[in-house]
């Protein structure tokens, strides 16, 4: 672990967080609070991190994670991550001498945490003192502005199941990883980065695309020769990452029991081995692909999905593997809040990108870059009515760029899932920054093929209008109302196969497109 020296973080900290308002304050409430550690009753001011809004009231309690404030409209509970506290009664920046204990499921994730700690140290005007406790555990000491009040952060990598138990049992404060069974009313979850499961091949591979059915056969050991995939008579050489049990668990959950055959090595060595070996197929994370080539996936119904940063962001690529940060309420106190804030800031996201992961945030691509999607949409069309709808959709999107923001829905529902999508404040702020004078936001709702046929169009319309209303309520400026267009279609332009539950879940969606003024 920690094989590289972390680079100097030269940029200044400028957090990008959800502005605080009375409506969003209620949505910032954590699911459960621990017993208060600060009780005051004196007046304080809570300011949003961008300084645009503030809330004044009496500080009733603070537990290291939540402020409980008495205001003229009643008692509000507000996440400390969302605000800065001003006033004599505000708690000090440090209220506990216990170290912040952070677990990372893989060495690479643990390295990323270390990089974020160094970035946080730069914000605190100090360079962390780094000490190896064991090959799997590292301690960072940040003195900040007070050398007599050190901040200690202990980072460890290990087994995902054991790490999850440690978080639940209170032996850790924070856990970062993928496909973790972390549940509980006292757990907060943050998307740290996008990633995905990929099949890697050499640039000289006999094939560059696989169907999901063929991929399953390779993983399970029922397909062993390239000739079974339409290539030459050449035995497939399998390669597995021995240092990423989370990935192996995710592959098993998606495809069933994996074959025991194949070579096992570190993820980095495996990617290099695959790149040099035309007969090889390796299984990895997108972030660990190095110079090997990710295979394009073809669904069982013929839909083609190339793997790119954009298709991973949108969820169009079907084998996503996000990296989440889980935080136990009250665990780690203010130091945990500081680290989470930095991880979600612009500078923190730059470090996440530097690590080869896809940092959260909106991206766009023009309709001309969606050629395979357009071809698939036309190919999947059944009859003249659907072709007419596809033509109508493309006519509405001429000159527009698709954003990576996609909201998905439960079957038969148009309710926005706050647990999945958050309160839309960050999305609204991002869109507001992209919508200039005379530009237009196009919100497109879709259904899957199974939802009641008589109600599909109405359901798609309800979804697009729910997203419009949610964005306006979350802070999208009211003067953009005239520049918002909502469209509704049924089960056209599918992302996944309507014949299976995973594909239908991909298709029940709302896409956001932006057309700039000409």
Which structural domains are found in the chain, ordered by start?
22-86 (2.30.30), 100-195+322-354 (3.40.190.10), 197-314 (3.40.190.10), 364-515 (3.30.1330.60)
Mapped onto helix, strand or coil, the DSSP state of residue 129 is: strand
Quote the CA–CA distance of 154 and 486 in Å, as a whole number: 49
Mapped onto helix, strand or coil, the DSSP state of residue 465 is: helix
Dihedral class, residue 399 (left if φ above 0, else alpha if ψ from -120 to 50, else beta) = left
Q: Which residues contact 345 (CB under 8 A, 6 or more apart)?
A: 13, 14, 15, 16, 17
**348, containing H or E segment:** helix 346-354
Antiparallel, parallel or unpaired: β 174-177 and 187-193: unpaired
Q: What is the pLDDT of residues 327-340, one digit of tens each?
A: 988 777 788 888 99
Is the pLDDT assigned to residue 26 strictly greater than 60? Answer: no
Residue ranges of alpha helices (H) inside 192-266 are 212-220, 245-255
Is the pLDDT assigned to residue 36 strictly greater than 60? Answer: no
Contact 344, 16 (CB under 8 A): yes
Mean pLDDT lowest among 76-85, 116-125, 266-275, 406-415: 76-85
What's residue 232's pLDDT?
A: 95
- DSSP-assigned states of every residue in 413-425: -----HHHHTTSH
| pLDDT class of 13 with cuts at 50, 70, 90 | very low
Q: Which residue has the higher pLDDT, 32 or 70?
A: 70
Helix, strand and coil content of the chain, in percent to the nearest 5, comes to 35, 25, 40
What's residue 387's pLDDT?
A: 85
Contacts 24+ apart (CB under 8 A), 467-472: 467/407, 467/416, 467/443, 467/510, 467/512, 468/443, 470/416, 470/424, 471/424, 471/427, 471/428, 471/431, 472/428
Contact 18, 426 (CB under 8 A): yes
Q: What is the pLDDT of residues 444-467, one digit of tens each?
A: 999 998 886 668 899 999 999 999
What's residue 405's pLDDT?
A: 93
Beta carbons within 10 angstroms of residue 164's beta carbon: 20
């Amino acid at each position: 672990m920690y094989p590289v020296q972390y680079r100097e973080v030269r940029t200044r900290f400028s957090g990008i967080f959800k502005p605080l308002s009375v409506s969003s304050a209620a949505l910032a409430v954590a699911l459960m609070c621990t017993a208060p550690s600060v009780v005051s009753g004196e007046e304080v001011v809570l300011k949003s991190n961008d300084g645009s809004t503030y809330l004044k009231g009496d500080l009733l309690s603070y537990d290291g994670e939540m402020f409980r404030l008495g205001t003229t409209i009643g008692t509000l509970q507000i996440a400390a991550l969302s605000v800065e506290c001003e006033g004599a009664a505000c708690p000090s920046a440090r209220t506990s001498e216990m170290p912040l204990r952070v677990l990372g499921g893989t060495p690479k994730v643990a390295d990323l945490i270390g990089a974020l700690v160094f970035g946080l140290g730069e914000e605190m005007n100090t360079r962390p003192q780094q000490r190896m406790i064991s090959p799997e555990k590292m301690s960072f000491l940040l003195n900040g502005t007070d050398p007599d009040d050190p901040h200690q952060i202990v980072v460890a990598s290990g087994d995902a199941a054991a790490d999850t138990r440690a978080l639940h049992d209170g032996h850790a404060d924070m856990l970062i990883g993928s496909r973790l069974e972390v549940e509980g009313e006292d757990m907060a979850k943050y998307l740290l980065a996008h990633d995905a499961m990929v099949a890697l091949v050499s640039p000289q591979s006999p094939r560059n695309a696989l169907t999901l059915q063929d991929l399953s056969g390779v993983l399970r050991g029922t397909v062993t020769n390239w000739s079974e995939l339409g290539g030459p008579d050449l035995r497939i050489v399998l390669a597995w990452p021995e240092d990423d049990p989370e990935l192996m668990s995710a592959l098993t959950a998606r495809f069933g029991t994996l074959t025991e055959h194949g070579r096992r090595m570190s993820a980095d060595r495996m990617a290099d081995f695959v790149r040099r070996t035309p007969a090889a197929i390796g299984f990895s994370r997108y972030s660990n692909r190095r110079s090997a080539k990710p295979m394009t996936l073809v669904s069982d119904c013929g839909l083609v999905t190339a793997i790119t940063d954009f298709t991973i962001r949108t969820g169009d690529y079907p084998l996503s593997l996000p990296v989440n940060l889980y935080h136990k309420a009250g665990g780690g106190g203010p130091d945990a809040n500081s680290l989470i804030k930095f991880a979600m800031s612009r500078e923190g996201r730059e470090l996440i990108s530097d690590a080869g992961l896809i940092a959260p945030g909106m991206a766009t691509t023009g309709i001309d870059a969606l050629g395979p999607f357009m071809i698939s949409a036309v190919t999947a069309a059944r009859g003249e009515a659907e072709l007419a709808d596809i033509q109508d959709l493309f006519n509405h999107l001429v000159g527009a760029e698709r954003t990576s923001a996609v909201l998905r829905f439960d079957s038969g529902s148009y309710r926005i899932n706050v647990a999945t999508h958050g309160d839309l404040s960050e999305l609204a702020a991002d869109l507001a920054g992209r919508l200039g004078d005379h530009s237009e936001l196009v919100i497109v709702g879709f259904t899957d093929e199974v939802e009641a046929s008589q109600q599909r169009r109405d359901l798609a319309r309800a979804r697009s209008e729910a997203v419009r209303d949610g964005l306006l309520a979350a802070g999208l400026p009211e003067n953009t109302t005239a520049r918002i267009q909502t469209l509704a279609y049924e089960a056209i332009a599918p992302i996944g196969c309507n014949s299976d539950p995973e594909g239908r879940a991909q298709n029940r969606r709302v896409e956001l497109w932006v057309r700039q003024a000409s």
